[in-house]
Amino acid sequence: MLTKSKVFFGQILMRKTSENSLTGWDLLDKTTEVDKLINDWVEQTSNQLVYASPPSIHMEWMDKENTVKMITSSVTVLYVEPEASENE
């Protein structure tokens, strides 16, 4: 059985708002959520997940004033392809 790996990631872009807002941040843009990406990929490929890592999260400021930030989350999965799992 050959185990392979794949990384899925998503990003959220946010801008700091006035101090009076509930969270202090407005959502500017986001990609598809990581769990949806993984579920869609498994459905399309029929690959069998062996392991999914805990999420990794990275935050980066996008401007000098620290008012816009990009949050990137990623999950690494280990999987076997359908042919490999059927031959065991």
pLDDT tens by residue, 9-50: 999 999 998 666 677 899 999 999 999 999 999 999 999 999
pTM for the model: 0.81
E strands present in 22-86 = 25-30, 48-52, 56-61, 68-80
Q: Are 13 and 75 in contact (CB under 8 A)?
A: no
Distance, in Å, from the CA atom of 67 to the CA atom of 16, rounded to the nearest integer, reads 5
Distance, in Å, from the CA atom of 39 to the CA atom of 8, rounded to the nearest integer, reads 11
Express each pLDDT in 57-88 by its tens digit: 999 999 999 999 999 999 999 999 987 444 45
